[in-house]
Structure 1
Amino acid sequence: MNKQPIGIFDSGLGGLTVWREVHRLLPNEDMIYLADSRNAPYGEKSKQDIIDLCFKNTEYLLSKGCKLIVVACNTASTNAVAELRAHYSIPFIRIQPAIKPAALQTKTKSIGILATKGTLTSELFYENTKKFAQGVTVVEQVGNGIVALMEAGKMHSEEMELLLKKYLYPMLEMKVDHVVLGCTHYPFLIPQIKEIIGYQVAVLDTGEPVARQTRNILTQENLLNETESPGKQTFYVNKNPEVFQSFLDKFELNFKAEEIDF
């Protein structure tokens, strides 16, 4: 199975921020990325709907022979990975908001979490906050509308600027010194976020830790592709392929996305 691909799925283009880090760390691995943009955003759906979509995505990636699946969506990770692991035998890598490092590093004892409703209301998020953020004020903010604007190609719109200010200014009033991005779409917005909150506030995402965990699990399971040739990168998207491609082009790697009916 070593030469079989790694599968990655997200509710759209956000997981590209995770794919980039995995590809950077494991350039010889073939990877298949599935963007379920037709059903974005996941964060506003019921838990059962999220689970059903995750099973559908997993079945598609398994049909392509994937040896491991990265669930590159915080909402999907916090709501469905336990069910996926119970049902399938292959490894699943999940994403969690970087609550622990933010809580360990804060000087003001106040951190902000910008995430989807599905992530913030999940049992896993509650458990991690309780475990790692004792004695720290956690300012939670649902990022309603952000993913929808990004998937519609409106990342640099006036609407986006107003939304970000609406969500981030209350965090600054609470003296946060770390803002945790609890959605893989959000790292694309880091330059805009820093313009609003200033560069003295740290912004944390989870792409690099997920890449390291992917490498660790592949190593433990003897699944690393040890060939020296560059891995093949395949991207599937089921809505707005031109928007997805515009974000993929930001990495300047000349990869092309394929639209599928999924």
Structure 2
Amino acid sequence: MKYSKIGVFDSGMGGLTVLKELLERIKGLDMVYFGDTARLPYGTKSPGVIRQYTLECSRFLVDKGIDMLVLACNTASAHAISVAREELGIPVMGVIDAGVRAAVSTGASRIGVIGTPATIRSNAYAEAIKALRPDVDIVSKACPLFVPLVEEGMLDDEVTEMVARRYLKDLISQGIETLLLGCTHYPLLKNVIQKVMGSGVNIVDSAATTARAVTRMVKGEYECKDSSDVVYYFTDLTQSYLKLGELVLGRPMENVEKVDLDGRLGGGSNG
């Protein structure tokens, strides 16, 4: 299959961590990002609502001409990837499998998993890890405040560190050797998380592992250009979102549009 445009979807800004990795690895393949910022966080919502929102946003991206979708949202990957694959008619890549394989490859006998409440309740990570390593001990912890802290741009703040210490103390006391970041927002808190966990704990970033998997999938299957064209769509758009997005990407965000879920422009373009 030849690829011309990849869609990257997340409930908010966290999926930009995946997009950044993709842009660094895949030169010349166009990309479209969709962040459902008006309805985040997904992690506290019911499975049915998560599937509904994911399909609405995914269909929008399909209408924009993508021929591969990356669900750069762990909550959506846990609850909606099967139905997305059934209904969209294009390849759909989630973030769970690649992260699990990377965590298992560290050889740890005790692996910690952190994510949104919906992701942790789904047990998707624990089941995937056990399928590869039945003997490994798994310690899972929901960290619901991490996503709003990221969306507020509080990436290296004393409040964020205080919250991290409260969430992670049980994982520290149980002696985990590898910690899997089961949300694409969480790599933005990696420095704080590593500080709290200590240098002896391996941190596995699902954004980077997913990007590597996508890169392998499209290798040799797209026409190389000098640069990638990127368009960004958000269901809510503020200056703070743009500031955070450019901080994550390390580059200006151009071609940014606010949309409603019928795909009509809602105003607020900066490119």
State whether structure 2 residue 230 is matched by structure 1 residue 229: no
Distance 2:176 2:123 in 1: 24
User: Which blocks of at least 5 consecutive residues in structure 2 are unaligned?
Assistant: 261-271
Question: 1:33 touches 1:236 (CA, 8 Å); kept in 2?
Answer: yes
C-alpha spacing 1:18/1:76, structure 2 compared with 1 (3 Å): same
User: Which blocks of at least 5 consecutive residues in structure 1 are unaligned?
Assistant: none
Return the offset for 1:3: 6.7
Return the offset for 1:38: 1.2
Return the offset for 1:261: 3.3
Question: 1:179 touches 1:202 (CA, 8 Å); kept in 2?
Answer: yes
Paired position in structure 2 for 1:102: 103
Distance 2:137 2:213 in 1: 28
Distance 1:171 1:257 in 2: 42
Normalised by the length of structure 2, the TM-score is: 0.87
Identity rate, percent: 28
| SS of residue matched to 2:13 | coil
Distance 2:67 2:33 in 1: 13
State whether structure 2 residue 116 is matched by structure 1 residue 116: yes
State whether structure 2 residue 24 is matched by structure 1 residue 24: yes
Paired position in structure 2 for 1:241: 238
Return the offset for 1:197: 1.5
Return the offset for 1:236: 1.7
Distance 2:65 2:17 in 1: 23
| SS of residue matched to 1:39 | coil
- What is the letter of the counterpart of residue 111 of structure 1? I
| SS of residue matched to 2:171 | helix
Return the offset for 1:123: 5.3
C-alpha spacing 1:252/1:123, structure 2 compared with 1 (3 Å): closer
Paired position in structure 2 for 1:256: 254
Q: Give aligned pairs, total.
A: 258
Paired position in structure 2 for 1:12: 12
1:53-202 to 2 correspondence within 5 Å?
53-96=53-96, 98-107=99-108, 109-122=109-122, 124-202=124-202
Which stretch of the first structure deviates more once superposed, 201-210 or 92-101? 92-101
C-alpha spacing 1:99/1:93, structure 2 compared with 1 (3 Å): closer
Question: 1:110 touches 1:137 (CA, 8 Å); kept in 2?
Answer: yes
